[in-house]
Amino acid sequence: MIRRGAGGGIFLLTGAGVSAESGLGTFRDKSGLWTRYDLTEVATPEGFARNPQLVHDFYNARRENALGAAPNAAHHALARLEAEWPGDVLIVTQNVDDLHERAGSRNVLHMHGSLTGALCADCGHRWPAPARMSPADPCPECSLAQTRPDIVWFGEYPYHMETIWQALREAEIFVAIGTSGTVFPAAAFVQDAARAGAHTVELNLERSAGAGDFSDGRYGPATEVVPAWVAEMLG
Ligand code: APR
Ligand code: ZN
């Protein structure tokens, strides 16, 4: 996934902070989603089994917010980096919005799934999510009413992990952007990359829990620190 090019491969891990200035909430800041919702009710398979309507309502609202949001200067700067960097650039995002893609990034992996996807909990069929989903929606494939948002919940295994582990072994530069570094396995990616010899940078509003694991850090709003860092990289 990341070949060593003239500029070396760059592995970008993004979290909710990269979309905060697009108006999408984070999870653990003072007014974050997990301060207003019980994640065991809306972001676990058990919560979905107990009350699928509550879960669909939660993700319908987040999907509506995401569809109404626009990529910000940080998303655009990362798309510019991918277009102009003389090596591979991979974005592995914990976010479920599609703002990286809408800013023009093409090499994007959603390790926690995406609000744009629907999944059948029975047959595993995937299809583009409608704006609003309901527990009564029949699966287009098996027609059972077991549809769920294609989101990775707590206790479930993140997507694309084989590709991610490989990319961490190959990256020459690892950058974490807008993430609190509190949810695994993403929180340990910086150590994996450093062990493989990558230069590691944190770009965040403030020092995260894992700040000490990075060889460099730039702090401030993503719409300021990310474009500045990209401009420095592209020279
Ligand atoms: N610019 C840069 N960073 C910001 C900004 C901003 N404007 N606003 C907030 N941040 C930073 C916060 O300081 C924090 O470190 O973004 C980080 C957001 O942390 P979280 O809310 O924990 O979000 P994230 O790290 O993406 O959570 C990881 O947890 O609940 C799960 O699946 C969910 O993908 C999510 C995962
Ligand atoms: Zn099905």
Are 221 and 132 part of one and the same domain?
A: no
Look at ligand 1, atom 15, and give the residue with the nearest C-alpha: 180
Are 194 and 82 part of one and the same domain?
A: yes
Are 168 and 194 part of one and the same domain?
A: yes
Q: Which residue type is seen at 64?
A: E
Is 16 annotated as ligand-binding?
Answer: yes
- For position 143, which CATH number holds? 3.30.1600.10
The answer to whether residues 149 and 128 touch, using CB atoms and an 8 Å cutoff, is no
Are 206 and 123 part of one and the same domain?
A: no
Are 105 and 188 part of one and the same domain?
A: yes
Is 18 annotated as ligand-binding?
Answer: yes
Residue 203 predicted with pLDDT over 60: yes
Are 137 and 183 part of one and the same domain?
A: no
The residues carrying an active-site annotation are 112
Helix (H) or strand (E) holding 232: helix 222-234
Is 41 annotated as ligand-binding?
Answer: no
Q: 180: Cβ below 6 Å to ligand 1?
A: yes
- CA atoms of 225 and 213, how far apart (whole Å): 19
Are 98 and 146 part of one and the same domain?
A: no
Question: Which atom of ligand 1 is least distant from the CA of 26?
Answer: 21
Q: 206: Cβ below 6 Å to ligand 1?
A: yes
Strand partners, 147: 120
Are 61 and 91 part of one and the same domain?
A: no
Query: Which of 151, 172, 206 is the C-terminal boundary of a domain?
Result: 151
Total of domains in the chain:
2
Residue 171 predicted with pLDDT over 90: yes
Q: What is the pLDDT of residue 8?
A: 75
Q: What is the pLDDT of residue 7?
A: 64
- For position 171, which CATH number holds? 3.40.50.1220
Look at ligand 1, atom 26, and give the residue with the nearest C-alpha: 15
Are 190 and 210 part of one and the same domain?
A: yes
Which are the contacts of 66, defined by CB distance < 8 A and separation ≥ 6?
24, 96, 97, 98, 99, 115
Is 26 annotated as ligand-binding?
Answer: yes
Mutate to test the pocket of ligand 1, among 205, 206, 224, 226 (most ligand atoms within 8 A of CB): 205
Average pLDDT, the chain: 95
Q: How far is the CA of 122 from the centre of ligand 2 (A)?
A: 5
Q: What is the ipTM of this complex?
A: 0.99
Q: 17: Cβ below 6 Å to ligand 1?
A: yes
Banded model confidence at residue 65, pLDDT cuts 50, 70, 90: very high
Residue 2 predicted with pLDDT over 90: no
Are 41 and 108 part of one and the same domain?
A: no
Banded model confidence at residue 6, pLDDT cuts 50, 70, 90: low
Sheet holding 126-128, edge to edge: 126-128, 113-120, 147-151
Residue 5 predicted with pLDDT over 80: no
Ligand found nearest the CA of 229: 1
Are 78 and 183 part of one and the same domain?
A: yes
Q: How far is the CA of 136 from the centre of ligand 2 (A)?
A: 12
Domain, as residue range, for 144: 27-68+115-151
Tens of pLDDT along 100-135?
Answer: 999 999 999 999 999 999 999 999 999 999 999 999
The answer to whether residues 85 and 178 touch, using CB atoms and an 8 Å cutoff, is no
Are 164 and 137 part of one and the same domain?
A: no
Q: 183: Cβ below 6 Å to ligand 1?
A: yes
- CA atoms of 121 and 47, how far apart (whole Å): 14
What percentage of the chain has pLDDT greater than the value 70? 97
